[in-house]
Amino acid sequence: MMPRMEDIQVVVMMGGVGSRLGEIVTNCPKPMLPVGSALPGLPDSLGDNRNIDSRIETESVDGIPFFEYELRLLFVAGFRKFLFCTGYLSEEIEGYFGGGEKFGVDIMHQKDSQDSDGNAVLLGTGGALRHAYPKLEEDFLLVYADSFMDIDYREVVYRYFEAKESGALSLMTLLHNGGRFDTSNVIYRDGRLVLYDKNNVSPDMDYIDYGVNMFSRSLLDDYADGEKFDLAVIQHELSLKGQLAGLVVTRRFYEIGRPEPYREFIDYTRDRFETPRKAAFLDRDGVLNEIVYNEDTELLDSPMRPDELRLIDGAAEAVTRLKGAGYYVFIVTNQPAAAKGKTSLGQIFDINKKLKELIPEIDEVFVCLHHPKGSEHSRERNLIGECRCRKPKTGLIDEARAKYAIDIERSFMAGDSYTDVQCGKAAGVQTVFIGDYKCDVCARLKYNKPEIVAGSLAEAVNILIEQ
Ligand SMILES: [Mg+2]
């Protein structure tokens, strides 16, 4: 079962000295290295009514620290509980992030071991984590503060707990490498992580560990506080026993271990977070892919498995045209089938991955997995109930706005349901109704008509790009 994201602890390894950065880090720990000057403000719907610092929308700041970008991703993914494991210049990090109030999260700090003179004792990643043992929860997400990793964290958490039911104690995210980044160190075959070995690389390894992991705290039980060891040893042993689950991710990461990628990330954030672009918010079913006729229920429904996903003719080309016209393309879709017990969450994640394979130009898929009533057949009790993201609510658009600089007035929402139009209206974007504008739809949208009605996304894009 999918836990609530706010119940999952995120442990952040922040103790590194960053020696490969040379002079840049003399007075500044890596996670605090200044990057850009603005992050999009956080829409109210994401804030849990906490005292979030919204200075960012109106004012520029002199260098947002590197880790604040990753914290933003984790916040939007729903995480609220953090443990920062700090070492080098820890007071700088504590001074800035504090208890997390400004960021809408709770942050605890754990300092690395020190000797009697107050100097840090380097214990390796495993030793540093073991030192934090009393503050660790039973299962936790582990990330490194020198990386920006924009992936679907809900799937990471879900796949870990799924694998745990068959004996896994950790999950490692993997990136197909092909020599692009560091040396490959993982064999992944037929959907399984077969071997992880950082110290004995072999030619059949073509994946690398991506840097996001889930761990069971019990893996540290046999180590003593103060013992020096690398987490890679635990992960290698787990892989030999078939207890290290693997999850392949596709989006590239940014890291700031060296000066060149640090500069690259500065350029990237300028484009993504500081240069507003118009966005196309697209509903999925009935807009990009066909609705499926279910023979058992005799109803039309969303695809329940990846092999049921069929693109509508012209949909992929329409996305290409939108990209060519300078739009971000975001999918905003309600997928309550797991909450209703009609399919598994794993299938929903897989369908959206297949959609991105078929239309790689999609920038990101934002999904509401909830359903207000659910059903008695559902295993996913945590997805049942009111949420902030189910359309016609604007939560999914708000997530996009927290992750990208978006020119909302030049953006639009297109969908084949009246709730899509209502959602777009509430978010303040232009609205496009796709399909037959039937009487029931016009009755519901009487005072809130879409600006454009079109037979298909392709037709809508013709109208929009002509405008
Ligand atoms: Mg639809």
What is the C-alpha to C-alpha distance for residues 240 and 244, in angstroms, rounded to an integer? 8
407 is catalytic: no
Percentage of residues in the chain having pLDDT higher than 90: 73
Higher local confidence (pLDDT), 271 or 44: 271
CB atoms within 10 A of CB 431: 24
pLDDT reading at 53 higher than 70:
no
- The full length of the chain comes to 467
Select which of 209, 283, 363, 416 is catalytic.
Answer: 283
Could you tell me the distance, in angstroms and rounded to a whole number, from the CA of residue 457 to the centre of ligand 1? Answer: 12
Q: What is the pLDDT averaged over residues 283-300? A: 89
How would residue 8 be classed by pLDDT, with cut points 50, 70 and 90?
very high
What is the C-alpha to C-alpha distance for residues 463 and 467, in angstroms, rounded to an integer? 6
Q: What is the pLDDT averaged over residues 246-267? A: 91
> Which of 159, 160, 203, 171 has the alpha carbon at shortest distance from 185?
203
Could you tell me the distance, in angstroms and rounded to a whole number, from the CA of residue 287 to the centre of ligand 1? Answer: 6
Percentage of residues in the chain having pLDDT higher than 70: 93
Could you tell me the distance, in angstroms and rounded to a whole number, from the CA of residue 284 to the centre of ligand 1? Answer: 6
Give the mean pLDDT of the chain.
91
pLDDT in tens, 148-188: 999 999 999 999 999 999 999 999 999 998 767 678 999 99
Q: Which residue has the tokens 């130009």?
A: 361
The architecture (CATH level 2) of 5-271 comes to Alpha-Beta Complex (3.90)
What is the C-alpha to C-alpha distance for residues 13 and 376, in angstroms, rounded to an integer? 41
| Residue-level pLDDT at 49 | 44
204 is catalytic: no
Q: Which residue has the tokens 């503050």?
A: 135
| Residue-level pLDDT at 293 | 84
pLDDT reading at 258 higher than 90:
no
pLDDT in tens, 422-438: 999 999 999 999 987 77
> Please, which residues have CB within 8 angstroms of residue 440's CB and are 6 or more apart in sequence?
none
pLDDT reading at 61 higher than 70:
no
Could you tell me the distance, in angstroms and rounded to a whole number, from the CA of residue 248 to the centre of ligand 1? Answer: 28
What is the C-alpha to C-alpha distance for residues 87 and 226, in angstroms, rounded to an integer? 14
Class of residue 39 by CB neighbours under 10 A (exposed 0-12, middle 13-18, buried 19+): buried
Q: What is the pLDDT averaged over residues 363-384? A: 95
| Cβ 355 vs Cβ 309: under 8 Å | yes
pLDDT reading at 45 higher than 90:
no
Q: Find residue 171's DSSP bridge partners.
A: 214, 245
Residues of the chain with CATH 3.90.550.10: 5-271
CB atoms within 10 A of CB 446: 8
**Secondary structure of 155-177 as H, E, C letters:** HHHHHHHHHHCCCCCEEEEEEEC
Could you tell me the distance, in angstroms and rounded to a whole number, from the CA of residue 461 to the centre of ligand 1? Answer: 17
Angle at CA of residue 182, ends 113 and 28, nearest 5°: 40
What is the C-alpha to C-alpha distance for residues 42 and 103, in angstroms, rounded to an integer? 9
Dihedrals φ, ψ of 311, to 5°? Answer: -70, 145
Could you tell me the distance, in angstroms and rounded to a whole number, from the CA of residue 367 to the centre of ligand 1? Answer: 13
pLDDT in tens, 337-361: 999 999 999 999 999 999 999 999 9
| Residue-level pLDDT at 57 | 44
How would residue 50 be classed by pLDDT, with cut points 50, 70 and 90?
very low
Structure tokens at 125: 């990643």
What is the C-alpha to C-alpha distance for residues 253 and 66, in angstroms, rounded to an integer? 13
| Residue-level pLDDT at 48 | 55
Q: For helices 315-324 and 457-466, what crossing angle results, to 10°?
A: 20
Angle at CA of residue 29, ends 23 and 32, nearest 5°: 110
pLDDT in tens, 187-217: 999 999 999 999 888 888 999 999 999 999 9
| Residue-level pLDDT at 202 | 87
How would residue 18 be classed by pLDDT, with cut points 50, 70 and 90?
low
Residues of the chain with CATH 3.40.50.1000: 276-466
SS3 221: coil
Higher local confidence (pLDDT), 30 or 223: 223
CB atoms within 10 A of CB 459: 16
- Whether the upstream peptide bond of residue 392 has omega within 30° of 0, thus cis, is yes
- Domain 276-466, what fold? Rossmann fold (3.40.50)
Select which of 139, 146, 209, 285 is catalytic.
Answer: 285
Could you tell me the distance, in angstroms and rounded to a whole number, from the CA of residue 44 to the centre of ligand 1? Answer: 26
pLDDT reading at 60 higher than 60:
no
Please tell me the number of Cα atoms within 13 Å of 35 on its side-chain side: 31
> Please, which residues have CB within 8 angstroms of residue 61's CB and are 6 or more apart in sequence?
37, 38, 55
Structure tokens at 351: 């369908």
SS3 339: coil
| Residue-level pLDDT at 445 | 73
Structure tokens at 287: 């807009």
| Residue-level pLDDT at 259 | 86
> If residue 188 lies in a helix (H) or strand (E), which one and from where to where?
strand 186-189
Class of residue 354 by CB neighbours under 10 A (exposed 0-12, middle 13-18, buried 19+): middle
| Residue-level pLDDT at 59 | 40
